[in-house]
Amino acid sequence: MASQKKVAETPAPAATRPSILPIDASPVQELGREADLKAFRDMLLIRRFEEKSGQLYGMGLIGGFCHLYIGQEAVVVGMQLAMREGDQVITGYRDHGHMLACGMDPRGVMAELTGRRGGYSKGKGGSMHMFSREKHFYGGHGIVGAQVSLGTGLAFANKYRANGNVSLTYFGDGAANQGQVYESFNMAALWKLPVVYIIENNRYAMGTSVQRASAQVDLSKRGASFNIPGELVDGMDVRAVKAAADRVLEYCRSGEGPYILEMKTYRYRGHSMSDPAKYRTREEVEKVRVESDPIEQSRARILANGWADEEALKKMDAEVRKIVNEAAEFATYDPEPDASELYTDILR
Amino acid sequence: MPTQVLMPALSPTMEKGNLSKWVKQEGEKVKAGDVIAEIETDKATMEVEAVDEGTLGKILVPAGTADVAVNTPIAVIVADGEDASAAATPAQQNKAAQSAPPAAAPATAETPKAAPSAVANPPQPTAQPVPEFGDDAQEDVELVTMTVREALRDAMAEEMRRDPDIFVMGEEVAEYQGAYKVTQGLLQEFGASRVVDTPITEHGFAGLGVGAALAGLKPIVEFMTFNFAMQAIDQIINSAAKTLYMSGGQMGCSIVFRGPNGPAARVGAQHSQDYSAWYSHIPGLKVVAPYTAADAKGLLKSAIRDPNPVIFLENEILYGQSFQVPKVDDYVVPIGKARIARPGTDVTLVAWSMGMTYALKAAEQLAEQGIEAEVIDLRTLRPMDTETIVASVKKTGRCVVVEECWPQSGVASEIATRIMENAFDWLDAPVARVSGKDVPMPYAANLEKLALPTVDEVVQAARAVAYR
């Protein structure tokens, strides 16, 4: 459609990618050695961190809700590769990956999961509520869709201050059906706010598939009536994410207004830790793992290009595991917040 | 039979207006629907249309007349062959005005969502300039008379001049000059980037405002009325009020949500509700509800400077009322401090916002009956100034709380609890409350009157607790 103008696309080799869906994804651009290795390591950190979170949950160290990001790592890591200092990130409750990608300390994140005083929110926020002004991470929000209006407000502040920063506002396919998302789209387009709406379409809103919840399943078109351009991106390929992010961040930064990126992705684990897993087959999950895993794709590419050998990647994995184990150790033995913290931070 | 044209009301709360211009002159032929005159108030202007065919026989109120009371006959339309001098005498006119329907419909509605009717003379307080001002005012300070509306605007303008991070957003705040004209003139002074008209999208712009506040700006978010803020209450509570705590003190937001709250007049159940209890329930919010213009100004300035989210509850009926405001460069009233509006020894009356109109009138009547009531204007609902209430109750031994909100889980029940917790042994009678009735607001004038607290109810309650 005419209004769905795409920003100038960089020509790239038509790489054949295994994909979970036959999508007309945006083009892939090779990252090069350094960036590909960094992306691999960042994704691996999220994967190992989340695996450890699952273990600690099973041990009863993490309570309540805990939404793991396993399978979706390429989305946030690819976006992060394209960001610049000052750009803000805000997301919903599946937020551990975003925090790690923003450079927040794994110890502080893990200690928040276990509700300890060394956690990012002194143990008062939990899995869904962490923030870092220093790293420009604005949460961590538990009400589905609420972060979309907030992220649009971050973009409003950027425009008000003319600071050239862009708000990266993440939400899922479930949130894409919330009314305030469209209220926000309208204002963002009306006022040309610098915001990228990143829809992490992992195909299931809790147990309800996109097909069962959405009249228009092509979520990249959800901005059409506001003239917000959108495109589909293979969210399992960090190169595709980075290529889209480069173009779109430039578009938003230059004052053109908002843009929608629908990331086709997949979560391997349940919606939260208590997921009956009755809404999809084991085979479906296994197929995605085998054919499209973002980290395995990255590993194969690095080896094929000779950017690192098996030994070097193993060593990297060991380093990442060490960081995660230390974070878990810290989160296990760090004391709970002092009782006096009950009544602090209500007002300032 | 000559037809009288009466001064119409632009809104349910309008009492008087200015007759700015006659479009038709005496002797001119008019058809139904012809514009014959223009009237204006401080909020809006409208055209007066003829409802009958005939000749504009006599103009009773000349152009340029200020403060013409609603329902005053302003002209007479005569049919062919009739004599304008047959028009009623002034005394008869007044009598006619009480029963005659208004002769014009508003050409411009001032509150698009509320769609006010032109039905004249809703029940409303008759307060004229009240010689009340904050006890914070010093005795030697010069006082100026201004309306609550003007005081609120001045507060915003002064703060916006001081700090470029402050901006106002909401429906009709800019080009329309405010649905209730509270933001009048701000667009002209501060421009469209700081006085931002939003679409009708309360949930969205409340969230957007909170996001901008998390990023460090200081938004003033105007709700056309707090009735519409129910669509936005998730962002107010979950995002604005809780984020500081959830972030372990890292990320707070300095934001003011303001607009008219509480029953208006004749607007029905969905546009007439008091949210005092709703917001005062929430840790992480401050909730302010001023009565006088001085407090409106001083407290709004404090609210804008406050680093926390502040709910600023105004009242449509009070907007047009005048009070004396200290004329000082930077008049600020601290949040969290109640005010003794009238000292007394026999019974304590606690009220805020519109409730003060009932409490003050009741205190006057009680004085005539030999009961000296001490009236506390609470001004802030959260954090609540328990100390001032308790000190007064320890003196009087009796307390009546006046509120327009519903009784169950209302602010009065909270105040009663605090008195019980802090001054039980000083009480000579159970704490009484005069609340809005436990019903959705009815439209019919008589039922609406019954649904609201009355001065008489306050007097009766005060006498009951005083055993008189």
Domains, chain B, ordered by start: 3-99 (2.40.50.100), 143-326 (3.40.50.970), 339-465 (3.40.50.920)
- Does pLDDT of B232 surpass 70? yes
The answer, for B393 touching chain A at a CB cutoff of 8 Å, is no
Answer whether B284 sits within 8 Å of A347, measured CB to CB.
yes
Q: Which of residues 218-247 of A touch B (CB under 8 A)?
A: none
Chain B nearest-CA residue for A117: B248
The Cα B222–Cα B101 span in angstroms is 35
- Which residues fall within 8 angstroms of residue A290, CB to CB, at 6 or more apart? none
* Residue B96 pLDDT grade (very low, low, confident, very high; cuts 50, 70, 90): very low
Residue A18 belongs to a domain: no
The angle formed by the CA atoms of residues A290, A292 and A296, to the nearest 5 degrees, is 75
Residue A193 belongs to a domain: yes
* Residue B139 pLDDT grade (very low, low, confident, very high; cuts 50, 70, 90): low
Answer whether A152 sits within 8 Å of B215, measured CB to CB.
no
Answer whether A154 sits within 8 Å of B243, measured CB to CB.
no
The answer, for A289 touching chain B at a CB cutoff of 8 Å, is no
Residue A17 belongs to a domain: no
Question: Which ipTM score applies to this complex?
Answer: 0.91
Chain A nearest-CA residue for B241: A346
What percent of chain B stands above pLDDT 90?
Answer: 76
Q: What is the pLDDT of residue A221?
A: 96
Q: Which residues of B touch A116 (CB under 8 A)?
A: none
The Cα B7–Cα B96 span in angstroms is 12
Residue A172 belongs to a domain: yes
A272 φ, ψ (degrees, to nearest 5): -130, -165
* Residue B84 pLDDT grade (very low, low, confident, very high; cuts 50, 70, 90): low
Chain A nearest-CA residue for B283: A346
> B219: exposed, middle or buried (C-beta count within 10 Å: 0-12, 13-18, 19+)?
buried
The pLDDT of B411-435, averaged and rounded, is 98
The answer, for B210 touching chain A at a CB cutoff of 8 Å, is yes
Q: What is the pLDDT along chain A (348 residues), one digit of tens a residue?
A: 344 445 544 444 444 444 444 455 557 889 999 999 999 999 999 999 999 999 999 999 999 999 999 999 999 999 999 999 999 999 999 999 999 999 999 999 999 999 999 999 999 999 999 999 999 999 999 999 999 999 999 999 999 999 999 999 999 999 999 999 999 999 999 999 999 999 999 999 999 999 999 999 999 999 999 999 999 999 999 999 999 999 999 999 999 999 999 999 999 998 888 888 889 999 999 999 999 999 999 999 999 999 999 999 999 999 999 999 999 999 999 999 999 999 999 999
Q: Which residues of A touch B229 (CB under 8 A)?
A: none
The verdict on whether B222 is a catalytic residue reads no
Chain B nearest-CA residue for A134: B250
Residue of B167, B208, B249 with shortest CB distance to A149 = B208
Chain A nearest-CA residue for B249: A345
Answer whether A149 sits within 8 Å of B244, measured CB to CB.
no
The Cα A37–Cα B43 span in angstroms is 65
The Cα A220–Cα A204 span in angstroms is 16
Q: What is the pLDDT of residue B140?
A: 78
Among B55, B54, B56, B66, CA closest to B21: B66
Structure tokens belonging to residue B130 = 């009240």
Indicate the residue type of B212: A
Domains held by chain A: number: 1
B92 φ, ψ (degrees, to nearest 5): -65, -35
Structure tokens belonging to residue A199 = 């829809």
Residue of A143, A154, A184 with shortest CB distance to B214 = A154
Residue of B167, B211, B284 with shortest CB distance to A346 = B284
Residue of B216, B244, B307 with shortest CB distance to A345 = B244
Candidate from A17-31, A36-50, B3-17, B345-359 with smallest mean pLDDT: A17-31
Helix and strand numbers (H, E) in chain B are 14, 22
Q: What is the pLDDT of residue B45?
A: 81
The Cα B263–Cα B447 span in angstroms is 13
Answer whether B243 sits within 8 Å of A190, measured CB to CB.
no
Answer whether B207 sits within 8 Å of A152, measured CB to CB.
yes
Answer whether B308 sits within 8 Å of A348, measured CB to CB.
yes
- Beta strand B16-22 pairing with B65-69: antiparallel
The answer, for B305 touching chain A at a CB cutoff of 8 Å, is no
Q: Which of residues 85-124 of B touch A (CB under 8 A)?
A: none
Residue A167 belongs to a domain: yes
The pLDDT of B176-186, averaged and rounded, is 96
The answer, for B251 touching chain A at a CB cutoff of 8 Å, is yes
Residue A336 belongs to a domain: no
The answer, for A158 touching chain B at a CB cutoff of 8 Å, is yes
* Residue B49 pLDDT grade (very low, low, confident, very high; cuts 50, 70, 90): confident
Q: For residues A131 and A138, is the Cβ–Cβ distance under 8 A?
A: yes
The Cα B459–Cα B347 span in angstroms is 11
The answer, for B206 touching chain A at a CB cutoff of 8 Å, is yes
The pLDDT of B133-140, averaged and rounded, is 54
Among B264, B463, B228, B445, CA closest to B354: B264
Q: For residues B436 and B263, is the Cβ–Cβ distance under 8 A?
A: yes
The Cα A104–Cα B360 span in angstroms is 57
A89 φ, ψ (degrees, to nearest 5): -125, 135
Q: Which residues of B touch A190 (CB under 8 A)?
A: 199
Chain A, chain B: beta-carbon pairs less than 8 Å apart: 142
Q: What is the pLDDT of residue B124?
A: 45
- What CATH number is associated with residue A303? 3.40.50.970
Closest CA of chain A from B82, distance in Å:
58
Among B345, B342, B347, B349, CA closest to B466: B347
Closest CA of chain A from B245, distance in Å:
5
The Cα B250–Cα A122 span in angstroms is 10
Average pLDDT over all residues of chain B? 89
* Residue B138 pLDDT grade (very low, low, confident, very high; cuts 50, 70, 90): low
> CA-based Rg of chain B, rounded to a whole angstrom?
24
Structure tokens belonging to residue A83 = 């960001």
The verdict on whether B372 is a catalytic residue reads no
Residue A119 belongs to a domain: yes
The pLDDT of B421-446, averaged and rounded, is 98
> Choosing among A104, A127, A347, A348, which should be mutated to test the B contact, i.e. which has the most B CBs within 10 A?
A347
The pLDDT of B172-190, averaged and rounded, is 97
> Choosing among B169, B203, B247, B288, which should be mutated to test the A contact, i.e. which has the most A CBs within 10 A?
B247
Residue of B208, B214, B251 with shortest CB distance to A187 = B208
* Residue B389 pLDDT grade (very low, low, confident, very high; cuts 50, 70, 90): very high
At B195-205, the pLDDT tens digits run 999 999 999 99
Tell me the sheet residues that pair with B257. Answer: B221, B311
Residue A31 belongs to a domain: no
Answer whether A121 sits within 8 Å of B250, measured CB to CB.
yes
Q: For residue A79, what are the domain limits?
A: 39-272+282-329
